Amino acid sequence: MEGEPEQQEMVPNKKNVVLVDGIILNGPTTDPKAGEKFVEEACQLIMEEVILKAPDVTEKVCEWQPPEQLKQLLDLEMRDTGEPHQRLLKLCQDVIRYSVKTNHPRFFNQLYAGIDYYALVARFITEALNPSVYTYEVSPVFLLVEEAVLKKMIEFIGWKEGDGIFNPGGSVSNMYAMNLARYKYCPEIKEKGLSGLPRLVLFTSAESHYSMKKAASFLGIGTQNIYFVETDSRGKMIPEELEKQVQRARKEGAAPFLVSATCGTTVLGAFDPLDEIADICARYGLWFHVDASWGGSALMSRKHRKLLHGIHRADSVAWNPHKMLMAGIQCCALLVKDNSDLLKRCYSAKASYLFQQDKFYDVSYDTGDKSIQCSRRPDAFKFWMTWKALGTLGLEERVNRALALARYLVEEIKKREGFRLLLEPEFANVCFWYIPPSLRTMEEGPEFWAKLNLVAPAIKERMMKKGSMMLGYQPHQGKVNFFRQVVISPQVSREDMDFLLDEIDLLGRDM
């Protein structure tokens, strides 16, 4: 009995209300049961409207609405008071309805597509746990997963050892690499900044990703200090031209520090000749980076890894498993051959409230100081889950199937009247024109090309308004608008390839 008053004081109740600034602090302010019910109903909605419909080709890829009309259809306003759960579920349903179904078998618009069920479950888990991958104490499982995945990716590049980190996008990986190469060239820049440095210049192909320009601008190098190297007719960097550019930069008094090659260019899917570029980098003491954000997944295939022959000679590699390996956006790694903590020396800020050196465990697992981020998502977990589910052989089959479907499409294009390839592809990018009947007998002069330039955009508009499929187009290097079809998803079949060509002909034959 003597302990009862003390026990009563420890148990919050209505008679023992604590107020601070007029706010009751007793107990939680949310209703867990209501929240759990909402999550359960929302998950059911996701299952029915997204996951179960993902492989169904009779569903629309998109339900197109112009921006102003979509604003009216969606209740975008945020109000002073909250809204009931049924209203929120209706909003969720609207979001799904009017969003592009990138997991649809006939979504070919970007360098990602399809649905990987194992990666999706991994994403559900990480969203529910809400971790941040910077220290072992708050993210023990995901740090170990990232370490294991990076180690395996390093093996596939062909390095005996290395380092790396997962980043929010291949563009960020390229920026990391550029900054790391500059730090290796002049470590004092980390503390002293840009003042007093020579004019640093880098080299990349004319077909490289636009993130190279953004990185040079962001890092204070300047886009004028990128020397864009000429490519051949297939979009590959010409090594002899690279060496000329390096020599030219030196004669101009500049300080070359980096060459960035591309494995899998965005439009044509070209792979630069890595061995020859590596020879030039070795000859002139330049950091050799390979942007394999798109093409890196070919490393998983014994049949196709020859596309990246020589990648083991790179100093750093960007590789995005969220593309052909379908780990889910975003899942992007920067891999570095150096294993002497160069990444950490370059990026660490030694925040004493996170990276204390007197912790009770091995602090080498606190890898967050290698990142320019503080909070960081456990993106490696998605790839790890897929890899565990499919195995290396399953991932290899995914790559082989995608490239086999691309080859099938190429052969079909060659057979069909009105379709013309730009070039024979070496990867999954299939670039072609559709020439409508009205242009097929016209002489191929300026008028012909001007009219053909209008065809792909018009067909794209029709297919999106119909919702039958999505396919990208672009002009490129003096060539008028053409389609770029990319095969990624294992849900895509030969029938989908046939449908793609049939649908383009159906939508464009009256032009």
Q: Using CA atoms, how far apart are residues 6 and 2, in angstroms rounded to an integer?
A: 8
Q: Using CA atoms, how far apart are residues 485 and 275, in angstroms rounded to an integer?
A: 29
| Element spanning 46, H or E | helix 32-46
Rg of the chain over Cα atoms, rounded to whole angstroms, equals 27
**Cis peptide, bond prior to residue 330, ω within 30 of zero:** yes
Token pair for 172: 């960020």
Under 8 Å between Cβ of 483 and 452 = no
For residue 102, what are the CA distances in angstroms to 32, 106, 273, 293, 495? 33, 9, 32, 19, 18
Q: Which residues of the chain have pLDDT under 50?
A: 1-12
Under 8 Å between Cβ of 430 and 413 = yes
313-346 per-position pLDDT tens digit: 999 999 999 999 999 999 999 999 999 999 999 9
Going by C-alpha positions, the residue among 394, 425, 413 that lies closest to residue 295 is 425
pLDDT at 19: 87
**Which single residue is written with the structure tokens 């009751």?**
24
* Residue 258 β-bridge partners: 202, 287
| Element spanning 119, H or E | helix 117-129
Token pair for 156: 């596939």
Domains and CATH numbers, the chain: 130-379 (3.40.640.10)
3-state SS of 349-408? CCCCCCCCCCCCCCHHHCHHHHCCCCCCCCCHHHHHHHHHHHHHHHHHHHHHHHHHHHHH
